[in-house]
Copies of this chain bind each other. A is one copy, B any other.
Amino acid sequence: MAARDLEPGALACTTCPIGAASGVGHGGRCPLVDRRRRAGAYLYLEGGPAEKVWFVKEGRVVLTREADDRRGEGIAWTARGPGAMIGAEALVRPTYVDSARAVCDSTVCTASREAMAHWMAAREGAARTVLDLVLIAQSVDAPRRSGSDGSAVRRVAVFLLEDPRGTSSELPRRVIAGFLGMLPETLSRALKVLAERGVIETTRRTVRIADRAKLEEAARPEPVRPRAAAVR
């Protein structure tokens, strides 16, 4: 489905929608303040006080939900890159609904919910700018997969076809496995199967699509099995 079409490599304040709307480069001032975060750092925590809205300038941030004792990290359900706003729920509710964690060294901008609200109220079209950001991000998120969506190999093939993040090394395998509703072990085995078929080439951190036609074949839903009579 829809290609993830945003995602430039990084973002300058002049090309950032918020910065542009603020008139950065023409004497304007963006309400957002830059922060650097190292890989692994949490930006905010699910259930914690939602004081700030965040904006990804460079890097990659994973959103997780429903952390529990079992899987300490919770369910990773999406990853946001440059140009995406995160933690926007701060504008409408007192606590964050997700935890956000940088998966690689990242630059993020922040503003308090109040600053953001003022900014939106003060400028014509600003709220619309934010709305667009939120809607675009939303329409890019794919629902998490599960076993009822086809075999692990098929789910991986679909993901690799549709999502450029699948072949980059930005996202840890653990996170990708989460998107696909499987364990890292299962992801690893599925990648191995595809590699053995000559569909892809893998290293421990990268995937390269070797044969797109074969990958599309692997992504196709299995034809309903032709009767149990088939005794091979």
A interface residue numbers (CB < 8 A to B): 1-2, 39-40, 46-47, 65-66, 68-73, 75, 77, 88-89, 91-93, 97, 120-121, 125, 127-128, 130-132, 134-136, 138-139, 142-150, 174, 177-178, 181-183, 186, 221-222, 224, 226-227, 229-232
With A65-B143, A91-B131, A93-B136 already in contact, the answer to whether A229 and B148 are too (CB < 8 A) is no
Q: How many chain copies?
A: 2
7 pairs of residues in contact across A and B, judged by CB atoms under 8 Å: A70-B226, A93-B136, A97-B139, A120-B128, A134-B134, A134-B138, A145-B146
Complex Cα gap A55–B202 (Å): 46
Do the beta carbons of A68 and B221 come within 8 Å of each other?
A: yes
Complex Cα gap A139–B1 (Å): 23
Whole-angstrom distance from the CB of A104 to the nearest CB of chain B?
12
Do the beta carbons of A135 and B181 come within 8 Å of each other?
A: no
Do the beta carbons of A97 and B1 come within 8 Å of each other?
A: yes
Chain B residues contacting A231 (CB-CB under 8 Å) are 40, 72
Out of B73, B130, B227, name the residue touching A71 (CB < 8 Å). Answer: B227
Do the beta carbons of B136 and A131 come within 8 Å of each other?
A: no
Given contacts A77-B143, A148-B178, 20 further A-B contacts (CB under 8 A): A1-B46, A40-B232, A66-B149, A69-B226, A70-B224, A71-B149, A72-B227, A72-B229, A75-B143, A75-B149, A89-B139, A91-B132, A92-B136, A120-B128, A130-B131, A131-B134, A144-B145, A145-B146, A146-B147, A147-B181
Complex Cα gap A91–B146 (Å): 30
Do the beta carbons of B1 and A66 come within 8 Å of each other?
A: yes
Out of B2, B138, B146, name the residue touching A182 (CB < 8 Å). Answer: B146
Do the beta carbons of B230 and A73 come within 8 Å of each other?
A: yes
Whole-angstrom distance from the CB of A85 to the nearest CB of chain B?
10
Chain B residue at minimal CB-CB distance from A92? B135
Chain B residues contacting A222 (CB-CB under 8 Å) are 70
Chain B residues contacting A69 (CB-CB under 8 Å) are 221, 226
